[in-house]
Each structure stands twice: as C-alpha cells, then as structure tokens.
Structure 1
Amino acid sequence: MTDTPDVTTGAEEPGMIRVFLVDDHGLFRSGVRAELDRRVPDVTVVGEAGSVDEAVAAIRHLRPDVVLLDVHMPDGGGAEVLRQLRPELPDVVFLALSVSDAAEDVIAVIRAGARGYVTKTISGSELADAVRRVKSGDAVFSPRLAGFVLDVFSERPGAAPPGDPELDLLTRRERDVLRLLARGYAYKEIAGELFISVKTVETHVSSVLRKTQLSNRYELSRWASDRRLV
C-alpha cells in the first residue's frame, strides 16, 4: 500500500522557499516536515509523496522550488524521479536526502540532475541551510561526499574515471539482482540469496529492463557481463 501524496493548500508568504518531500517512509517525512515548517521561517513544505509515480504527478502540479529526494524507493527511487521530471522542469531544484553514502548512489542521482546530496544524519538547521543554498544555485554535499564527487566529475589528470551512465541509473539492489540473474540464478534463488520476495525480484528485474531498454534476461546477462558485473 502506497502513501497518498500530501499537498498543502493555501497561499505561501512571498519569499518563502517551497519544498516538496519524496521518501517512502512516512514517519521520516513527518519529521522533516515538522523540522522545516515549525522551525524555519523562510521554508514551507508544500507537499510530500512516498512513491515515484505520486511524486512525479504532484511535483508537476505544484512546481516547488526545491525537492528533497530519497535515493532508494521500491519503484525506482530518486534517479527515476529525476529522469522523468528534470528535462521538463528545469527551474525545480532537486537535493538528494538519503541514508546511503555509497558512491554509486551519489553519482547516479548527480548524473541524473540533482544539485546536491546530503545524508540523513544532517541536522535540521543544516538541512534548512542546504535548501537555501541549492535554491540560490550552489551545489551542496555532505562533507565526506564532496571529495569523491569532485574527483569523479573533474577532468583534471589523475581524477577517477567517469562511470557508465546506464549503469549509474541502477540502484545497488538492482545491481545485486542483475548480478545473480546474469550468473543463471532463478528468481526464487535470487529471492533466497537476497532475503527478499520473488515479487520484489520481479519488480527489480522489470525496473532494470526499463532503464536499460532491453527485452529479456538473456540480453540483461550479456549487458551485465559486458560491464563486468558477473
């Protein structure tokens, strides 16, 4: 069961930064909303959603200034929201807010168009400052993430090589499923190996097929082998 997107109605004060929350954990969204709405006078939360489809529809309707975007969600996560909305809403700024500090997660959403990436260990005041900064055009990263982001996206000699743009679109869990699929595991075996349901495996495979624009598991296996995931 997915959460119904929550949209705040009514006029906001001039100069307020309008924020939309995307996270599949309702309790976390409630905490962020309370922190920003009650304690930050120049920021207001205009809506929230717990899934990609809900988020895309609501953001298109509301056109917020800043979207706080979770990276991992069951139906595709932050990179998928960005893929659908970034080209058509260039004035909306996306800031990833995630529990993950994995390099592949950071790189995937930055490549997809996020303006920054902060982890959920951030304080309320730091989050408010990050919202203001991305709204004004700055790129914002949690301190420990900034270094490798600069390395990956720098063109200077000795910088880390850029990743595969298609591979960067996959979440860590999607890569895990794909790796086992390419090794010949059946869906039931993948589910047992990763401690998830067969239905969840099917969902991840469908998502990978959509993102890679491939047709079946055999093409996926070859694709994964070419990228040395096996």
Structure 2
Amino acid sequence: MLRVVLVDDHRMIRAGVRSELAADLQVVGEAADVPTAIAAVHELRPDVVLLDVHLPGGQGGGGAEVLRDCADLLGDVRFLALSVSDASEDVVSVIRAGARGYVTKAIAGNDLSDAIRRVAGGDAVFSPRLAGFVLDAFGTGATDVAVTDDELDRLSAREQEVMRLIARGYTYREVAGELFISIKTVETHVSAVLRKLQLSSRHELTRWAAVRKLL
C-alpha cells in the first residue's frame, strides 16, 4: 500500500479524507499546520503528502512553505495539493514550490485515490481547467513548435479527443463522462496515445500537447 500523510487544518476534512482512502491507501500520519507538517513529512517519509494550500503557522507561506522546507525530500516524497481554492495564484505557488499536482476538494473519493497513485507514479495531476494556469505560468504555450501532420495522423479522431482532455488534467472518469465512453475504453485510448507518440506518462503528454498549442 502507498503511504500517505494528510495535511489540513480542519479535523473533519482529515477524518473524511482518511475514511475515503482507507480501502486501498495507508494514511500514516496527519498534520494541521506548517510546523507539524514539515516535521511529519521528515519523520515519516511517506510516498505522497496530500497538502492543503492554506495552513496556519510557520512564516505564513502555507502549503508552499511546507514544500520549500521539505525540498530535500522531493525526489522521494511526492506532494499533491488538495484545496477548496481554484485560484490561479494558489495553484501556481505550490507547483512552483514542487508539488506534482493540484486537485480541488470537490473531487470524488475514488478519483482522489487514483490521483494519489498517479502522483506516486510520477504523473502530474490536475483537476480539469487548472492545468491551464500552470501551462500559462511556466510559459510552455509560448514555445513555437509546429504540429506536423505526421504527428497527429498517428492518432485517430477519438484518440485526439482523449489526448486533449487527459493533457488538460481530466481524470479517466471525467473523460469517460465527457465523451460518453467507458473508463476501460479511456484507458485503452490513453495507452495507444502514449505508445504512438512515444511518451511514458501523462505529464509528458501534457507538455507535448502544450508546446504544440493543442490544449
């Protein structure tokens, strides 16, 4: 089981998330403010830290401050922001500090579990519409890369639809709902897209699509 630390200043939120994750992920610790979060991450060395953006304590930097003070662990510990906020400044601040993804608290429990597993595996994960904030902030859209017919011709029309949604940060379940297909069919299309484009992860797919201005 993947080991997870929950960081949120609301006890009821932590209890609810712990209950949602209990079936297939191991919650090994919790923290409610910046100092205890930093201490817990260094002591427990989890696979993934589920990190709220707005936290009390410390120097007032919230989740971004936790990330900066845990920079020595970023190669081994992955951080996924979980917040009620969908403000661009909040998203960009924690991604700049080292988080691998950002999802809002409107996410369903099984999708949150999936997001944690994907972040642990090295993917970048975002709730729909939030990925654009990151792409804009890091300037990937400014790169002038022409899309050759050959590149897109490798993908069927349906694979191109799936590719764009996945690259924007949609979960498999959200893609399935958007395109009225099964989750299994989405998984098949994603595997085909990655294989045809010779990419190894959703994170690489997002960058591939961004620099070609396909989002």
TM-score of the superposed pair, with normalisation by structure 2: 0.63
CA distance in 1, matches of 2:74, 2:132: 29
CA distance in 1, matches of 2:14, 2:123: 24
Residues 152 and 63 (structure 1 numbering): CA distance in 2 closer, same or farther, change over 3 Å? same
Match of 1:155 among 108, 123, 140: 140
Which residue of 2 is the match for residue 95 of structure 1?
80
The higher radius of gyration belongs to 1
CA distance in 2, matches of 1:65, 1:157: 34
Q: Which runs of 5+ in 1 are unaligned?
A: 1-15, 160-230
Which residue of 1 is the match for residue 117 of structure 2?
132
Q: Give me the identity figure in percent.
A: 67
SS, match of residue 64 in structure 1: coil
CA distance in 2, matches of 1:90, 1:151: 25
8 Å contact from structure 2 (residues 6, 31) kept in 1: yes
Amino acid at match of 2:100: R
Question: Could you tell me how far 1:156 is from its partner in structure 2?
Answer: 3.8
Say whether 1:122 aligns with 2:104: no
Match of 2:5 among 11, 14, 20: 20
Match of 1:82 among 63, 67, 82: 67
Say whether 1:60 aligns with 2:42: yes
Say whether 1:70 aligns with 2:55: no
Q: Deviations over 1:159-188 (max 9, x none)?
A: 9xxxxxxxxxxxxxxxxxxxxxxxxxxxxx
Question: Could you tell me how far 1:150 is from its partner in structure 2?
Answer: 1.7
Amino acid at match of 1:62: L
Residues 68 and 125 (structure 1 numbering): CA distance in 2 closer, same or farther, change over 3 Å? same
SS, match of residue 143 in structure 1: coil
Say whether 1:142 aligns with 2:127: yes
CA RMSD between the two structures: 1.5
Match of 1:108 among 89, 93, 103: 93
SS, match of residue 35 in structure 1: helix
Q: Deviations over 1:11-43 (max 9, x none)?
A: xxxxx1000000000110000001101xx32x1
SS, match of residue 137 in structure 1: coil
CA distance in 2, matches of 1:158, 1:17: 37
8 Å contact from structure 2 (residues 91, 133) kept in 1: no
User: Aligned pair count?
Assistant: 141
Amino acid at match of 2:136: D
8 Å contact from structure 2 (residues 92, 133) kept in 1: no
Which residue of 1 is the match for residue 200 of structure 2?
none
CA distance in 2, matches of 1:134, 1:47: 18
TM-score of the superposed pair, with normalisation by structure 1: 0.59
